[in-house]
Structure 1
Amino acid sequence: MYEVIGNIASRAFRVMWMLEELGQPYEFSPEKPHSERVRSLNPSGKIPILKDGDAVISDSTAILTYLADKHGALTYPAGTVERAQQDSLTHQILDEIDAVLWTAARHSFVLPEDKRVSDVKPSLMWEYSRNVANIMARAKGPYLMGDMMTIPDIILTHCGGWALSAKFPTDNAEFKTYLKNARARPAFQKLRK
């Protein structure tokens, strides 16, 4: 059985959602970043962490990719054009959405107060809005890759919720429809209860 270590309000949600989609049993072990247990498994102190037997995997995207490849679901096969396009979307979301939100979080509450630059948030909001439009222009159907939900959908949907709680722009109609569709999935709803 898998063990997911982290906080459900963090990127660990992505891993749990993936496992729910795959129908795989797992144990959730709530831990905050930098806890003693987390540091013993990942010296950076970052969550989430997935344990698969004695194997320890960190970084939510690496975990999602591992699980998708291992179970042959929510991904296209390695070496296909579709997989390259899927990976391209994944990296675009990480670079242009996740990183923007993480920068805003760091300058809002993560960094020590004397290291925060509060004036950066409006430019990050503008960048986020522009980047969401660019990603939506690439969408091929109800999900980013078409009719099949894949790894980038889990990441982007999670980021959409993060953005909402951080009061980032939510006026892109296409994105609203996309998020509503992704969040309606039974596996997502199970975790939201």
Structure 2
Amino acid sequence: MSLHTPATNRLLPLTGAVATALLLSACGSMMSSPKTMYSQDSLPDSIKVPAGHKVAMETVGVGEITYECRDKANAPGQTEWVFAGPNAALNDRSGKQVGKYYGPPATWESMDGSKITGTQLAVAPAGTGNIPYQLVKANPAMGMGAMTGVTYIQRVALKGGVAPMAACSPANKGERQIVKYQADYIFWKAA
């Protein structure tokens, strides 16, 4: 005995269509909801961007930092791992690559060809095993595009990137080690 009568058989496709429309409507409203505003509230004061600036772009840098075993400055006969340069993809929040970060000098380059360098203003500890938070004052952009008008870059949400644990001694001076890291790079422009 079937529970479906001719009338209910006609309603089933309609019910499915209504459910699909409601689901798509709900998904559409989630996608069009206003994006969460970036907040500096939990950051150390030393790396906060001054008032009068707004977030222009948020990226996630995923890559590596190269360190080189070199003589320690002002300490004859001693060696240490020294930051030699970064190499990272800059992705938007959805994971699509929108630029790259490399150096020296530290350079943030958009896929549109515009790029900036900058001067470090401040760093602050970001937890054991992580490179520090950083605030950089941007130099004027080279080329027109996404980097045009950027005034500050913040490095936040850090994972890894500290100097290697391997020995650095006069015996392996000049050796290079690569360390993986991830960090959010927040680009600011004047409001």
Give TM-score scaled by structure 1 length. Answer: 0.21
Q: Which has the higher helix share?
A: 1
Which protein is bigger by CA-based radius of gyration?
A: 2
Q: Which has the higher contact order (CA 8 A, sep 6+)?
A: 2
Give TM-score scaled by structure 2 length. Answer: 0.21
